[in-house]
């Protein structure tokens, strides 16, 4: 996810407006930023890595001035967040500048073809090929509009593009497919942006573009056509008036970011799956793990629970034992690592201080490091031998939701690759797991749909309780732990997760009539779980069964929260969303803001 903006004004200087718009788009990504305006016969560009506020000053954005300009805030997916890779990107002549949100899938072929024709590239991004492609078409066709159209037609993948050309200094060209792009109609100025909040203070009249649409804006005109069919769009019929406030617009109409992010999980899982299926790093990481002497996993909070899933996957698929530990406990291991060992460090932000310390300790002993992060080239990936990335996009809610399931998916794929390298899985078996993993997105979608109604009501009841146990067995235990963490984090109800067999070794002493005990129904362990349910019922607990309808357990449960059927390896994708929704709706029932839990910060950069 990135944010793009373009403004064409009749008079005045648009640079401050572009900077303001970029700040409002920061929630879409924030590792680098840039702007371009037309000045004379070329376009002037200022760009660099870092937070917008910082880059604006460091790179002198405000030295530029013009009536027409574009801007970009980046969340890296191809190429590290450095000055060269920041947008806008220009062609060889410096007369075309492009900002882009999305992923150009065929960029490697295009780049090769253009390089062969003598184009020189100065970044590793997929976006730069767009500038050179337009330049190439312009040389061939002469008309910029035609060149732009032909270039767009050759792009595969997803894109929202805004393009500046010094030959037509009042225009901004645009195109959209599978990435959002909105036109704003103002007085004396028209706007383009990835999302409505970017220009909401200037105008509320918008056209939300549809896939395949392209065209241009000037300060007074808008032209839209379908680039594939060539049909023109009747613009007045498409204008709508926005009544959202900027913060509602950023939340896409959801009452909170957390609910939005829970609902974004299917998309995040799909993006992560496709991102990783063409990622060489995943294979490299698997090779390292397959040849490792000992395998350690370190993480904190939600990422630690993903680490425990990895432990399970490695044992089941690759027959390897993995030692997962909580990062802040790294000192325990100070004499342990050997140079044949591998440490997998999991951190959404890639900046978690405890995890970074563990990484450094293992590095000192010569162990090799694999990083799993959601932020490209962040601190932990930079200090690692191999980095793999989830594609959850920025997560605003402090309590992790979509990052957990995307980590789980990445780790399932990683473990299955290790299993193939170590000969535990045949090529076909491995392909079977990969194809199962490709359904994670659908399963999460169905899980949200079948549980949300029930969970919303259960939450009203649950919000009056002070404690809960969340129990399961096998792969269900890390899921239960993640669920308990969400409940604690945002609904401030004390919740504890442990393997259900442990009840009689102590925790059952707390059970009294009405004490809520959630059971996650994981298929291979139903028989044992039934016994655990019975012992809780016998002491008056209120039993809530979470999972597909299994009559032997439902007959004993007080409440059933449904989830879809799934094979055991995929149960995190069906059983996690109901628990996230439970924590969310319970917090809302109690009047808490789930996006900003007390005492917590999103990224923990202190020890």
Residues carrying an active site annotation: 2, 602
Figure out which of the listed residues 542, 576, 580, 586 binds another protein, where binding follows CB under 8 A: 542
Selected from 46, 47, 368, 446, the binder of another protein by CB under 8 A is 446
249 binding another protein? (CB under 8 A): yes
By CB under 8 A, tell whether 5 contacts another protein. Answer: no
Q: What is the largest CA-CA distance in the chain?
A: 83
Shortest Å, Cβ 210 to another protein: 5
Using the contact rule CB under 8 A, the part of the chain among 75-83, 152-160, 251-259, 475-483 near another protein is 251-259
Stretch that binds another protein, among 40-48, 152-160, 272-280, 443-451 (CB under 8 A): 443-451
Nearest to 106 by CA among 283, 268, 278, 281: 278
Stretch that binds another protein, among 237-245, 285-293, 374-382, 566-574 (CB under 8 A): 237-245
Smallest distance from another protein to CB 182, Å: 8
Q: What is the Cα–Cα distance from 371 to 381, expressed in whole angstroms?
A: 5
Name which of 369 and 443 has its Cβ closer to another protein: 443
**258-317 residues near another protein, rule: CB under 8 A:** 259, 263, 266-267
Q: Which is nearer to another protein, 238 or 323 (CB)?
A: 238
Write each residue from 204 to 223 as x if it is in contact with another protein (CB under 8 A), else as -, in one continuous string. --x-xxx-------------
Select from 235, 336, 449, 590 the one that contacts another protein (CB under 8 A).
449
143 forms part of the interface with another protein (CB under 8 A): no
Q: How far is the CB of 194 from another protein (least distance, A)?
A: 13
- According to DSSP, residue 86 is labeled S
Interacting residues with another protein between 498 and 517 (CB under 8 A): 514, 516
Binding of another protein at residue 30 (CB under 8 A)? no
393: which DSSP letter? -
Of 556, 544, 401, the closest CA to residue 482 belongs to 401
**CA-based nearest residue to 209, from 229, 192, 221, 187:** 192
Tell the smallest beta-carbon distance from residue 598 to another protein (Å).
21
- Can you tell me which of 142, 230, 237, 506 binds another protein, judged by CB under 8 A? 237
Among 65, 80, 84, 244, binds another protein (CB under 8 A): 244
Query: Whole-angstrom Cα distance, residue 301 to residue 41?
Result: 54
List Cβ neighbours of 34 (8 Å cut-off, separation of 6 or more).
45, 46, 47, 48, 55, 59, 71, 72, 74, 86, 87, 88, 99
- Tokens read off for 25: 């788009």
Should residue 255 be labelled a site residue for another protein when binding is judged by CB under 8 A?
A: yes
451 binds another protein (CB under 8 A): yes
**Contact 502/481 with Cβ under 8 angstroms?**
no
Q: Does 539 bind another protein (CB under 8 A)?
A: no
Cβ 111 to another protein shortest distance, Å: 30
Task: DSSP for 150-219, please give it.
Answer: HHHHH--EEEEEEEEETTSTT-EEEEEEBS--EEEE-SSEEEEESSGGGTTTT--EEEEPPTTEEEEE-S
Stretch that binds another protein, among 74-82, 110-118, 233-241, 333-341 (CB under 8 A): 233-241
CB of 27 to another protein, least distance (A): 16
Tell me whether residue 255 or residue 568 sits nearer to another protein (CB atom): 255
25 interacts with another protein by CB under 8 A: no
- Note whether 222 and 211 are within 8 A (CB): no
* Burial classification of residue 339, based on how many CB atoms lie within 10 Å of its CB (0-12 exposed, 13-18 middle, 19 or more buried): exposed
Both tokens of residue 119? 């184009």
Nearest-angstrom CA–CA distance, 75 and 87: 11
54/60 Cα distance (integer angstroms): 10
With a CB cutoff of 8 Å and minimum separation 6, the contacts of 272 are 390, 391, 392, 406, 409, 410
Binding of another protein by 532 (CB under 8 A): no
- Among 361, 405, 450, 541, contact with another protein (rule: CB under 8 A): 450
Residue of 229, 241, 278, 339 that binds another protein (CB under 8 A): 241
Nearer to another protein, 249 or 388 (CB): 249
d(C-alpha 75, C-alpha 545), whole Å:
40
The answer to whether residue 45 forms part of the interface with another protein (CB under 8 A) is no
CB 550 within 8 A of CB 571: no
**CA-to-CA distance for 600 and 415, rounded, in angstroms?**
32
Q: List CB contacts of 298: < 8 A, sequence separation 6 or more.
A: 307, 324, 325, 326, 327, 330, 343, 344, 345, 346, 355, 358, 359
Q: How many of the chain's residues bind another protein (CB under 8 A)?
A: 42
Report the interface residues with another protein, using CB under 8 A. 196, 206, 208-210, 237, 240-244, 248-249, 252-253, 255, 259, 263, 266-267, 445-446, 449-458, 460-461, 514, 516, 542, 558-559, 564, 585, 588
């Amino acid at each position: 996810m990135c944010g793009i903006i373009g403004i064409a004004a009749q008079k005045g200087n648009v640079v401050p407006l572009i900077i303001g718009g970029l700040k409002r788009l920061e929630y879409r990504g924030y590792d680098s930023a840039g702007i371009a305006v037309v000045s004379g016969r070329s376009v002037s560009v200022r760009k660099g890595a870092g937070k917008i506020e910082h880059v604006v000053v460091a790179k002198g954005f405000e030295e530029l001035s013009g009536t027409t300009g574009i801007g970009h805030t980046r969340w890296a997916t191809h190429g590290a967040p450095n000055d060269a890779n920041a947008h806008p990107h220009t062609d060889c002549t410096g007369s075309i500048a492009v900002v882009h949100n999305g992923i150009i899938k065929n960029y490697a072929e295009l780049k090769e073809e253009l390089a062969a024709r003598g184009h020189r590239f100065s970044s590793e991004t997929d976006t730069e090929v767009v500038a050179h492609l337009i330049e190439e078409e312009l040389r061939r066709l002469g008309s910029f509009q035609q060149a732009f159209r032909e270039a767009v037609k050759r792009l595969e993948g997803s894109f929202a593009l805004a393009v500046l050309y010094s030959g037509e200094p009042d225009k901004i060209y645009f195109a959209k497919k599978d990435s959002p792009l909105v036109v704003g109609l103002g007085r004396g100025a028209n706007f383009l942006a990835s999302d409505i909040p970017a220009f909401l203070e200037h105008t509320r009249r918008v056209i939300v573009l549809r896939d395949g649409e392209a065209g241009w804006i000037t300060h007074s005109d808008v032209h839209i056509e379908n680039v594939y069919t060539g049909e023109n769009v009747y613009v007045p019929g498409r204008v709508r008036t926005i009544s959202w406030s900027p913060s509602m617009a950023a939340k896409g109409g959801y009452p909170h970011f957390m609910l939005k992010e829970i609902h974004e999980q299917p998309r995040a899982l799909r993006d992560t799956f496709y991102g990783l299926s063409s990622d060489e790093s995943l294979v490299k990481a698997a090779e390292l793990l397959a040849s490792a002497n000992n395998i350690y996993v370190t993480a904190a909070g939600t990422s630690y629970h993903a680490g425990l899933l990895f432990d399970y996957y490695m044992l089941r698929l690759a027959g390897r034992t993995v030692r997962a530990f909580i990062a802040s406990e790294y000192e325990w291991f100070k004499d342990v690592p050997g140079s044949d060992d591998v440490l997998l460090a999991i951190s959404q932000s890639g900046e978690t201080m405890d995890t970074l310390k563990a990484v450094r300790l293992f590095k000192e002993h010569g162990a090799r490091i694999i990083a799993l992060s959601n932020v490209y080239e962040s601190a932990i990936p930079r200090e690692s031998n191999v980095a793999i990335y989830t594609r959850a996009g920025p997560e605003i809610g402090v309590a992790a939701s979509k990052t957990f399931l995307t980590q789980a998916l990445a780790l399932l794929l990683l473990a299955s690759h290790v299993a193939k390298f170590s000969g535990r899985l045949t090529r076909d078996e491995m392909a079977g797991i990969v194809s199962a993993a490709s359904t994670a997105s659908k399963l999460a979608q169905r899980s949200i749909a079948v549980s949300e109604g029930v969970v919303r009501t259960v939450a009203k009841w649950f919000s009056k309780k002070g404690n809960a146990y969340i129990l399961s067995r096998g792969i269900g235990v890390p899921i239960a732990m993640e669920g308990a963490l969400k409940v604690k984090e945002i609904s401030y109800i004390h919740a504890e997760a442990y393997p259900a067999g442990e009840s009689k070794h102590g925790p059952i002493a707390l059970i009294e009539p009405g004490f809520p005990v959630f059971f996650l129904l994981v298929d291979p362990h139903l028989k044992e779980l039934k016994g655990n349910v019975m012992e809780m019922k016998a002491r008056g607990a209120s039993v809530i069964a979470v999972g597909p309808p299994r009559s032997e357990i439902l007959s004993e449960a007080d409440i059933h929260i449904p989830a879809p059927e799934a094979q055991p390896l995929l149960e995190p994708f069906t059983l996690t969303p109901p628990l996230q929704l439970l924590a969310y709706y319970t917090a809302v029932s109690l009047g808490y803001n789930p996006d900003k839990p007390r005492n917590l910060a999103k990224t923990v950069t202190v020890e």
